[in-house]
A and B are shown apart, each in its own frame.
Chain A
């Protein structure tokens, strides 16, 4: 079902609608992300950026349209001349390719750092404990948390928790990594550490990344495409060097100057 990389976009939204009550957050959104792309979503709060990530993680249900991962249906499929929801079992198979890092880390407090990382590889991917630990140690090294291996997550600072959360997401070998304002809950002096870890991942892997962030400098370094959202629509789309230096839209210019002056 999956074609060669490059042919089929990693992520495709077709006319996706999302409403919360009367509030239309996404109004027939279309966009796609190529394999290995690093896409930053920017825009004022409430413009639908985070909703896009949550739809991709199946934390929200769409109210219309189609989402495809590597061309595979993720929400609905065309069957017997009508659109039907795909069964949870198949959705899980597709979801396995997607990982997410949250603003609030969401580590499991009833497990140690290592246990947080090996839980899903062992029980979802069926890896042996030994293999899962070996990979976890590799990742802990990568995020600079080797020494905290056996600590409880409650004993860690926010920045440390976020680095563990990144390792936990990577332990599932995702093809697509969603980063939802991963530095927003951190103290300013810790933000740099976490961004350094992400820069490293961006440089050394070919994971498709979709990030929502207010760190414009970071977005500029890491991403190759920036989408500017307003009211659930993409109003401008450009490489970072273009959009940050010379945005076409007045609305983008306003938004960027407001963010930078903060």
Chain B
């Protein structure tokens, strides 16, 4: 076992590199997926048929086909038509399109869950379409979206392991290499599991923070000190941040869970 551990330590620099590849795939894929989701999600609910039709077809197509096959198709078949991309770009595009198609449904559903009265009030104030969405509708839909998007993000992290099959040296590759080097299947894959879990967990925490922030902006959680937290504030002042939150939550209407903590 100590040999195994020393092998892990020897391979730490390469672990860093491979985690970086997994993160690049995950974050690049997630950003592209969000763009795809917004375009197709809003496209799916326009009245114009030539926007709605293609949006629906693209969503159904990328939801309905296997990620591995999409990956292989973009990697091996697309170059035949003269579109050759780097393996990392292929991974990001495939993940972005596949998860973007799922997320488009999340976006559409959340937008539709915002009460019609909000659109109507925005129309009555003569706000333009883009302004309505950006300032009124999206902030409300965003709160509804985040939990479902978190789910998809976690799936995307795990989906990124397929990039190993298109020659990328990601975390999956590193794990396999570790197994080869140590000849310890249980050990290598257990380490692999833990690293994947760690990445997922960190990203889940980040998404939870985004959710709390979005809810606070809608007044669904007690505000802290009156003003809204900025990204840097909340990251730097994490411990203080939590105590304030508990203090706020003890007030009437706060979650009962926190009362136990403060008692």
Contacts and interface: CB of A to CB of B under 8 A. Distances in A.
A220 interface: no
B120 A59 contact: yes
Interface residues of B, number: 23
A155 B252 CA distance: 13
B52 interface: no
B121 A102 contact: yes
B125 interface: yes
B126 A120 contact: yes
A57 B123 contact: yes
A226 to B, nearest CB: 24
Interface stretch (A104-112, A130-138, A242-250, A253-261): A104-112
A110 B126 contact: no
A-side interface size class: 20 to 34
A150 B228 CA distance: 13
A119 B135 contact: yes
B125 A168 contact: yes
B128 to A, nearest CB: 8
Nearest to A92: B126
A169 interface: yes
B124 interface: yes
A110 B139 contact: yes
B219 interface: yes
A13 B90 CA distance: 58
30 contacts: A59-B120, A59-B124, A92-B128, A95-B123, A95-B126, A100-B124, A102-B117, A102-B121, A102-B124, A106-B115, A106-B120, A107-B121, A108-B118, A108-B135, A109-B140, A109-B218, A110-B136, A110-B140, A110-B217, A110-B218, A119-B127, A123-B135, A124-B125, A124-B126, A152-B223, A154-B219, A155-B219, A165-B121, A172-B125, A172-B126
Interface string A143-159: 00000001011110000
A199 interface: no
Contact of A106 (B121, B139, B217, B219): B121
A154 B125 contact: no
A58 B219 contact: no
A51 to B, nearest CB: 13
B131 interface: yes
Contacts of A232: none
A171 to B, nearest CB: 9
Interface of A: 57-59, 92, 95-96, 98-100, 102, 104, 106-110, 119-120, 123-124, 150, 152-155, 165, 168-169, 172
Contacts of B120: 57, 59, 102, 106
B127 A123 contact: yes
A38 B254 CA distance: 46
Contacts of B135: 108, 119, 123
A108 B131 CA distance: 13
Contacts of A150: 226
A109 B217 CA distance: 8
Interface in B94-134: 115, 117-118, 120-128, 131
Contacts of B218: 109-110, 154
Contacts of A106: 115, 117-118, 120-121
Nearest to A150: B226
A95 B120 CA distance: 13
A106 B121 CA distance: 6
A108 B115 CA distance: 11
Among B125, B217, B219, the one with the most A-chain Cβ atoms within 10 Å of its Cβ is: B125
Contacts of A98: 124
A86 B261 CA distance: 61
Contacts of A165: 121
Contacts of A168: 125
Contacts of A99: 124-125
Among B115, B120, B126, B220, the one with the most A-chain Cβ atoms within 10 Å of its Cβ is: B126
Contacts of A109: 140, 218-219
B47 to A, nearest CB: 11
A256 B173 CA distance: 80
B219 A108 contact: no
A58 B123 contact: yes
Given A57-B120, A120-B125, 13 more contacts: A57-B124, A59-B120, A59-B123, A92-B128, A102-B121, A102-B124, A108-B122, A109-B140, A109-B218, A110-B136, A119-B135, A120-B126, A155-B219
